[in-house]
Amino acid sequence: MLTLVIQAGGQSSRMGQDKALMSFLGRPLIERVLERLSPIADEVVIITNRPEGYRYLSIPLFPDVIPDRGALGGLYTALKVAGNSEVAVVACDMPFASAEILTAAQNTLKDESIDAVIPKTERGLEPLHAVYRRSTCLPAVEAAIQADNWRMISWHDHVKVHHLSPETTKQLDLTQYTFMNLNTPEEFGQAEALARRIG
């Protein structure tokens, strides 16, 4: 049983508007992300502090439980509201998000000694395209926030984190653009052109 949580709670400051709702190939970007990932999940929720724009999706919407705590606060909210023991957390601005990588991560999480499965690339970890065990990760993230830590990895020493190796991730990354995220209008346009070519 997997809960898919789409993180749409960021400020989108460089984009100038809510990027998840910007038109991507003729429809809101978040619809593309949901279409790519929803089939693997038993439950889908969206974390957003601007729910009015998302109500048309008829998907449960939750604001950040602890406001203004950045990505770590978003992860805490995702784990807090999820109804299942395994939670896939994905940023809303990843037009090539990969169901294959998340499925592989969830399968790895079947090993009960593992608490989180996070892809790793040559650029580093991708914690906003990863799968977490709610029962162990939630208290660890909560403790990090209470200790005034902001970094996404600040709690990793307290749980067992498995990294999908760059080699494994590359094999599973069918488009080679899974972890592309969009922060500017220029990046948005580039991703649309790429999507027209590769789907």
Domain spans in the chain, listed from the N-terminal domain onward: 2-198
DSSP secondary structure letter of residue 146: H
- Fold classification of 2-198 is Spore Coat Polysaccharide Biosynthesis Protein SpsA; Chain A (3.90.550)
Q: What is the mean pLDDT of the chain?
A: 94
pLDDT, tens digit (0-9, with 9 covering 90-100), for 9-31 = 765 556 667 899 999 999 999 99
- Portion of the chain with pLDDT greater than 90, in percent: 88
The dihedral sign for the CA sequence 146, 148, 152, 153:
negative
pLDDT, tens digit (0-9, with 9 covering 90-100), for 55-80 = 999 999 999 999 889 999 999 999 99
Predicted pLDDT at 178? 96
- Which of 127, 128, 116 is CA-nearest to residue 159? 116
Phi and psi for 69 in degrees, rounded to 5? -115, 20
- Please state the rounded mean pLDDT for residues 176-183: 94
Residue predicted with more confidence, 144 or 111: 144
Residue predicted with more confidence, 128 or 9: 128
pLDDT tier, 199 (very low <50, low <70, confident <90, very high otherwise) = confident
pTM exceeds 0.75 for this model: yes
- Please state the rounded mean pLDDT for residues 150-171: 95
